[in-house]
Amino acid sequence: PARALAAMADREPGSLEALNAIIRRAEPLVPGATQAVLGEGPLGAAIAFVGEQPGDQEDRLGRPFVGPAGQVLMRAMAEAGIDRSASYLTNAVKHFKFEARGKRRIHQKPTAGEVAHYRWWLDREIALVAPRLVVALGATAALALTGRQVPITRARGPLALEGRPCRGFLTVHPSYLLRLPDDAKDEAYAAFVGDLRRAKALAA
C-alpha cells in the first residue's frame, strides 16, 4: 500500500474530488482512526480555515469541526459575520490520533513528522480550493502551512505564506479556549472573535 500511495502521490490530482479520493484511500499514519476527515466547503471560498486534526466526533461522523471545538468556531464565525457555508474548513492532519482510556479516546497532538507527512495533501487542497485568505487555527496549522514553528502569542495576526497566492492569518485554536479557566474564557473568546473579524476584512 505504501508503494501504491507513493505512485498515486506522484500524479498531481487535477481536482479536489481526485485529491479527496487519494486521501480517503490512505491508511492513517498512526492506526486507529475510523476514517479520513476531508475538507468541506466550496471551491473559491473567500476564507479557508485550517485546524489541527479531526477530534473524536469528527472521526465518527467524518466531517470537520462538528465537535465541541467546532461549535466554538461556528459561534465565533457567526459573531464575526463569516458565513460557514461560504467558507472552507479543513485540517492539517486528516486522521484522528488518540490514546484509548477505557471507553474514552483522548486526543493526541500530532508530531511534526506527522504534520509533514500530511503536508503534501494540504498544499494541494489549498491550491485547488484557492481561497483569498487561509486562517491557521493554532500552531499545528501554522507549522503545516509554513513549514516553521510559529509562536502564536507573538505571531498572532497576518501570516506570510511564502509561495502561495493567498494571504494568511494566524489565530488560536478554538480548543484552547475550551481549556482556559472560566475567568479567562470571555476575554480570550472576544479576542478570537476580534481575530476572525480582522480575517474577514483581509479576505474582502
Q: Nearest approach, Cβ of 150 to ligand URA (angstroms)? A: 16
Residue carrying C-alpha cell 474577514: 200
Among the candidate windows 6-14, 47-55, 113-121, 190-198, which touches ligand URA by CB under 6 A? 47-55
- Using CB under 6 A, pick the residue from 13, 23, 36, 91 that binds ligand URA: 91
Interacting residues with ligand URA between 59 and 88 (CB under 6 A): 64-65, 67, 69-70
Helix and strand totals (H; E) in the chain: 9, 7
C-alpha cell recorded at residue 192: 478570537
Helix, strand and coil in the chain, % to nearest 5: 50, 15, 35
Among the candidate windows 17-25, 39-47, 52-60, 158-166, which touches ligand URA by CB under 6 A? 52-60
- Using CB under 6 A, pick the residue from 54, 110, 131, 168 that binds ligand URA: 54
CA–CA distance, 112 with 78 (Å, rounded to integer):
32
Q: Where are the alpha helices (DSSP H) in the chain?
A: 2-10, 16-25, 56-61, 68-79, 112-129, 139-146, 152-155, 174-179, 182-203
Residue carrying C-alpha cell 466526533: 57
- Using CB under 6 A, pick the residue from 13, 41, 55, 110 that binds ligand URA: 55
Q: Which residues contact 102 (CB under 8 A, 6 or more apart)?
A: none
Q: What mask of x and - would describe binding to ligand URA in positions 140 to 179, judged by CB under 6 A? A: -----------------------------------x----
* Residue 33 near ligand URA by CB under 6 A: no
Strands 88-91 and 104-107, bridge-based pairing: unpaired
C-alpha cell recorded at residue 203: 479576505
Q: Nearest approach, Cβ of 69 to ligand URA (angstroms)? A: 4
Q: Nearest approach, Cβ of 168 to ligand URA (angstroms)? A: 17
Among the candidate windows 46-54, 97-105, 108-116, 159-167, which touches ligand URA by CB under 6 A? 46-54
Q: Nearest approach, Cβ of 3 to ligand URA (angstroms)? A: 30
